[in-house]
Amino acid sequence: MSHYQQFYINGNWVAPKGTQTLDVINPATEEAVATIALGNKEDVDLAVAAAKAAFESYSQTTREERIALLERVTEVFKKRMGDVATAISQEMGAPAKLAKVAQAPSGLGHFVTALAALKEFEFEETIGTTLVTKEPIGVCGLITPWNWPMNQLTCKVAPALATGCTMVLKPSEVAPLSALVLAEILDEAGVPAGVFNLVNGDGPTVGAAMSAHPDIDMMSFTGSTAAGRQVMTNGAQTIKRVALELGGKSANILLDDVNFEKMVAHGVMSCMNNSGQSCNAPTRMLVPNSRMDEVAAIAQAVVAKVKAGDPNAEDTVIGPVVSKAQWTKIQDLITAGIEEGAKVIAGGPGRPEGLDKGYYVKPTIFSHVNNEMTIAREEIFGPVLSIIGYEDEDDAVRIANDTRYGLSGYVSSGDLDRARKVARRIRTGMVHLNGAQLDPRAPFGGYKESGNGREWGHYGFEDFLEVKSIFGYHQA
């Protein structure tokens, strides 16, 4: 790949207008694997102009034309799957096997899901003599994070292409390499010039220029709640639509009739996956107070098998966290947990034994946590689990909902009907029952400060569409 210091604008790889660059650091080695160009407002203006010009024709394409385009994209993506996985592992430290079996395939999955949704989506409805039509919203600004880079890229790019929108993408400057591979994939698949544009850069420069740009009609942002708040503030100046998928502090309620051996193990591993760098990770495990010591012992035994290390090693379970800044933040929060009286039953501050280089965090579990502690309130975004006790079912629901976030939740019970009833009381955009997996056809998104709007499947189309009523379209 030779496009590290170029942007993809109007169907071409072009040189940046500025001279700033940034090293992309492999978090496993702390060494640079590439140097990217950083864009500025002029680069954003050029990309937006290309997207705006392309919208006139691309918005008028037929469903069949967009289906054919997405089919080509999926075929090219399959050929480049290995390159996508390698880029992800290098840029954000995912173990090679996780990159191959989950991170990279998630991107293909969103194109496949969007393709299936496009074939069935109802773009028009008749109400009396009125035609109600859903039309592409226009030029979309897409800002994506580093933790599941290809997943978050494609769950925005795929619905934008499917609905007839054009776009400007700013991937995370921390993990931009897989986005460059995606640009190559879209170019080879024949996405028309100007429909997809990519400008690398940081949030305060490129991100701010995009979210405030008068010719961007919609912003779709995934990242921290603080950054999402800034995107919404900037976007308010032009009353553009802003869709946000933000942080989480998801509760994992284990009811008193559950198989504790099985579901504690599942909860621990779900929290540790991807080095804990998932917005929907079940980072608060809620268990009966009477079972706290038992649960702690089970969790301690499970996490002992979670090996942190070289992403390319076969026995590695989790790799490093993404950056030095992230590592430092996690260490500070682990220290806060200790100082506030939580009991460390695994892990703790510092790197795992035998690792003196790389941004590795000890898989850490706290027991005897109360919901007022910092580690129970703040999104740590690392391999850190807090086990919190509750008195009864109502207390568990109260604790689960006592957070500013509302992205996801988890409820396990030996009685499925009981789990269903508790799930309906949880104020989150998603709830997993008894370890159920995500479904890419179902909506992904949250309540409260976890964002607004929904991604994935046909629900993910809605934020990219405007609704128009044409009165008198049909004869009475």
CA distance linking residue 474 with residue 129, whole number of Å:
5
The proportion of the chain whose per-residue pLDDT surpasses 70, expressed as a percent, equals: 100
Mean pLDDT for the stretch of residues 320-343: 98
Residue 299 lies in a domain: yes
Number of domains present in the structure of the chain: 2
Same domain, 404 and 262: yes
Contacts of residue 306, Cβ cutoff 8 Å, sequence gap at least 6:
268, 269, 272, 317, 318, 363, 383
Q: Indicate whether 435 pLDDT > 90.
A: yes
Taking 60 as the threshold, does the pLDDT of residue 455 lie above it? Answer: yes
Task: Please count the other Cβ atoms lying within 10 Å of the Cβ belonging to residue 60.
Answer: 10
Judgement on whether residues 269 and 146 belong to the same structural domain of the protein: no
Rounded Cα gap, residues 26 and 209, in angstroms: 28
Co-location of 276 and 413 in the same domain:
yes
Same domain, 379 and 421: yes
Residues 6 or more apart in contact with residue 394 via CB below 8 angstroms: none
The predicted pLDDT at position 272 comes to 98
The answer to whether the CB of 138 falls within 8 A of the CB of 53 is no
Specify the pLDDT at position 333: 98
Could you tell me which residues come within 8 angstroms of residue 44 by beta carbon, excluding any fewer than 6 positions away?
Answer: 168, 199, 201, 206, 209, 210, 213
Q: Can you name the residues that pair with 369 across neighbouring β-strands? A: 388
| 223 lies in the same domain as 322 | no
- With tokens 């917005």, the residue in question is 279
User: Could you report the per-residue pLDDT of 118-151, keeping only the tens digit for each?
Assistant: 999 999 999 999 999 999 999 999 999 999 999 9
Q: Classify strands 124-127 and 130-136 as parallel, antiparallel or unpaired.
A: antiparallel
Averaged pLDDT, 55-78: 98
**pLDDT (0 to 100) of residue 1:** 53
- Look at residue 267 and tell me whether its pLDDT is greater than 70: yes
Same domain assignment for residues 235 and 323: no
**207-224 pLDDT per residue, tens:** 999 999 999 999 999 999
Structure-block tokens of residue 14: 């072009």
Distance of CA 453 to the CA centre of its chain: 13
Task: Identify the CATH number of the domain in which residue 122 sits.
Answer: 3.40.605.10
Domain of residue 73, residue span: 7-246+450-470
Closest of 137, 136, 139, 135 to residue 216, by C-alpha: 139
Q: Report the pLDDT averaged over residues 318-323.
A: 98
Helices (H), 205-323: 208-211, 225-236, 260-272, 292-303
Residue 389 counted as domain residue: yes
- Specify the 3-state DSSP secondary structure of 357: coil
Note whether 67 and 139 are same-domain residues. Answer: yes
- For residue 476, what pLDDT band results from cuts at 50, 70 and 90? confident
Contact by Cβ (8 Å): 190, 161:
no
| Nearest Cα residue to 371 out of 404, 344, 347, 348 | 404
Helix axes 149-163, 177-189, angle to 10 degrees: 30
Average pLDDT, stretch 104-115? 98
| 72 & 90 share domain | yes
Residues catalogued as catalytic: 245
Q: pLDDT tens digit string along 355-398?
A: 999 999 999 999 999 999 999 999 999 999 999 999 999 999 99
Q: Scanning the structure block, which residue is given the tokens 């609704």?
A: 467
Examine the domain organization and report whether 303 and 209 are in the same domain.
no
Please indicate, yes or no, whether residues 195 and 264 belong to a single structural domain of this protein. no
Percentage of residues in the chain having pLDDT higher than 90: 99
Residue 71: count other Cβ atoms within 10 Å of its Cβ. 13
pLDDT at residue 68 is higher than 70 = yes
Q: Cα-flanking dihedrals φ and ψ of residue 318, to 5°?
A: -130, 145
Alpha-carbon span 371 to 387, nearest angstrom: 10
Q: How many whole angstroms separate alpha carbon 354 and alpha carbon 359?
A: 13
Q: Which backbone phi and psi does 138 adopt, to 5 degrees?
A: 135, -140
In a domain, 180, yes or no: yes
Mean pLDDT of the chain: 97
